[in-house]
Structure 1
Amino acid sequence: MFPIDQYHRASSVEHACSLLAEYPGRKLIAGGTDVLIRLREGKSGFSSLIDIHDLDELTWINHTADGTLQIGSGVTFTQLINYLKNDSLLPALVEGSSSIGGPQVRNMATLGGNICNGATSADSAAPLLAFNARITLKSQSGTREVPVEDFYAGPGKVHLEPDEIVTTFSINQEDHQNTGSHFYKYAMRKAMDIATIGCAAVCRIEENRIQSLRLAYTVAAPVPTRCHVLEEQVNGQPVSGKLIRDIAAMVLEELSPRNSWRASKDFREHIIRTLADRVVTEAIIRAGGQL
């Protein structure tokens, strides 16, 4: 049995926001794959819950008239993978989603939960950053939208007000159409372990030159991080083996991996460079580039 002190079932997003305002400090629970673990471990602050599992307002995926892909925060990773695979969309996000736990976890875990826990190791974070994803948040005072990149406030922390709920993730058509993308997670036990390093790249190629490259990492800094300076430096460059080597040499300039019991800083730096080579190469090839 889980030591739950108080439990409220929200009937809608609006109801959930009002419950959060009425009962400050309550935790939202959707898939429960993170919250219930913390509850079982006796972490403080997790014994009073507001259940938003399977709300219709949060469990949908569609395209708007302008081609924007919108994903409800309550969509499970299994649902997301199946939708994207059917339409051959966003391979990097499919790969990131597929690396989360085992099938049982992906059947329950939600995209919103994976991002809202603030973990720098979240496997969906690097692909979302690389696709310039945005988050819509709702509270009793209204709605606001922020880039996923700006949502992170620090290790295990996000910019989420006490009465706010993440409702939607949005990706503009121009940020994924006619691109090649790839995500790779390095972990000791693959999907069944927390990432040592995760890396996602999204690129667009024209006349075998980099028209745009977006490169993002997890567990390479206190929060999931884009390599903006590197991206600017390689735009317009011809595709070549030398370009890939240069990217791998430059990538650490914007990252700050640390020592931990999972891996040393030196080992993480080696993996970061290796993944820059591997992931960018595959993204270029998928975009039609010739190396």
Structure 2
Amino acid sequence: MYDIGSIYSATSVADAIRALQADPAAVVIAGGTDVLIKIREGKLAGCSLVSIHELGEELKSIALADNGDVEIGPLSTFRDVTFSDVIRQSVPVLGEATDQAGGPQLRAAGTIGGNVCNGITSADSASTLMALDAVMVVRGPAGERRVPISQWYKGVGKVDLAHDELLVKIIIPRESYAGFTGHYIKYAQRSAMDIATLGVSCLVKLSADKQTAETVKLAFGVAGPVPMRSPAAEAAVSGLPIGQAIEDIGKAALQDVNPRTSWRASREFRLQLVEELSGRALREAARKGGAQV
């Protein structure tokens, strides 16, 4: 059923990096929900695997740093993220997003690191991490480096990760979430166990009187080849009365997106979703923040 050439179980991050250096064709496997499907389909038939599945002690914690940053280990499963007290108290919108990935079995096995390392635009966590200005901490033979998520995605299925590097931490800076409330909407053909036809994540920081959208952040999945922010929409509605912002955000977002036609949906339908769901996401994010909308 699975044509696997070999599998090496790494004992540490450093050990995994050495194994990747020794085998330029090796593929990293964690939860396996993406890699095993590709092997079964023949796309990676006969491949050699480097498993990081047992590195939970190094790569699975979810914690609040002393400076208020949220630090997420990439081996954290979708379920881990959704039910983490740190996530629920600091960035609940991310837990909402991960809770919409696949079905219960996938959420118990699939990892947030795999979700962002596969470079797929429909990844449920990706648009919210974009809105949160997450920082990807990567480790390789030369040491660690930090990559803002705005620079992470290089094309369809491509991210800024060398063959002999591992993602070791996802950081959500305190200033990117403090004072914001957010909402994620996944539109799919089925209500469960389906990938997104379009994903929309919106964060808003309201004024003290809850009447004004002081700062709005809007990000999409499947609105282009990679997860993306909408700077035009953010600039257009930040500072507006919340009702006006909700009304205007969808049309403004159309300036940035470039969805394609696929068997799941036409470009035209996705554009309609962008316009409609942007307003809905902002409305719900504002409601969570105390606005009367």
Range class of TM-score, shorter chain = over 0.9
Residue in 2 aligned with 1:72?
A: 73
Residue in 2 aligned with 1:263?
A: 265
Matched AA of 1:279: A
Q: Is the 8 A contact 2:118 2:157 kept in 1?
A: yes
Q: Is the 8 A contact 1:100 1:192 kept in 2?
A: yes
Q: Is the 8 A contact 2:232 2:252 kept in 1?
A: no
- How far apart are the structure 1 equivalents of 2:46 and 2:125? 23
- TM-score (normalised: structure 1): 0.96
Please report how far the alpha carbon of residue 85 of structure 1 lies from its aligned counterpart in structure 2 after TM superposition: 7.5
Worse-matched range after superposition: 44-53 or 252-261: 44-53
The CA deviation string for residues 121-178 of structure 1, in whole angstroms up to 9 with x for no partner, is 0000011111111100000111100112211011111111111100100011221122
Residue in 2 aligned with 1:44?
A: 44
Residue in 2 aligned with 1:16?
A: 16
Residue in 1 aligned with 2:235?
A: 232
Residue in 1 aligned with 2:217?
A: 214
Residue in 1 aligned with 2:28?
A: 28
- How far apart are the structure 2 equivalents of 1:3 and 1:143? 33
- How far apart are the structure 1 equivalents of 2:275 and 2:14? 45
For residue 281 of structure 1, the aligned residue among 280, 283, 291 is 283
- How far apart are the structure 2 equivalents of 1:149 and 1:28? 23
Q: Is the 8 A contact 1:180 1:288 kept in 2?
A: no
Residue in 1 aligned with 2:7?
A: 7
Could you say what secondary structure the match of 2:264 adopts?
Answer: coil
- How far apart are the structure 2 equivalents of 1:63 and 1:223? 28
Residue in 2 aligned with 1:54?
A: 54
CA RMSD of aligned residues (A): 1.4
Matched AA of 1:252: L
Q: Is the 8 A contact 2:137 2:168 kept in 1?
A: yes
Residue in 2 aligned with 1:154?
A: 155
Please report how far the alpha carbon of residue 118 of structure 1 lies from its aligned counterpart in structure 2 after TM superposition: 0.6
Residue in 2 aligned with 1:171?
A: 172
- How far apart are the structure 1 equivalents of 2:203 and 2:218? 7
Q: Is the 8 A contact 1:129 1:226 kept in 2?
A: yes
List runs of 5+ in structure 2 lacking aligned partners.
none
- Compared with structure 1, are the counterparts of its residues 119 and 87 closer, same or farther at alpha carbon in structure 2 (3 Å cutoff)? closer
Matched AA of 2:234: E
- How far apart are the structure 2 equivalents of 1:54 and 1:149? 30
Alignment of 1:102-181 (within 5 A): 102-181=103-182
Q: Is the 8 A contact 2:4 2:45 kept in 1?
A: no
Could you say what secondary structure the match of 2:284 adopts?
Answer: helix
- How far apart are the structure 1 equivalents of 2:23 and 2:3? 18
- How far apart are the structure 2 equivalents of 1:54 and 1:288? 43
Could you say what secondary structure the match of 2:90 adopts?
Answer: coil
List runs of 5+ in structure 1 lacking aligned partners.
none
- Compared with structure 1, are the counterparts of its residues 125 and 239 closer, same or farther at alpha carbon in structure 2 (3 Å cutoff)? same
- How far apart are the structure 1 equivalents of 2:233 and 2:283? 15
Please report how far the alpha carbon of residue 45 of structure 1 lies from its aligned counterpart in structure 2 after TM superposition: 6.6
Q: Is the 8 A contact 2:187 2:197 kept in 1?
A: yes
- How far apart are the structure 2 equivalents of 1:122 and 1:87? 20
Aligned residue pairs: how many? 290
Could you say what secondary structure the match of 2:84 adopts?
Answer: helix
Worse-matched range after superposition: 165-174 or 43-52: 43-52
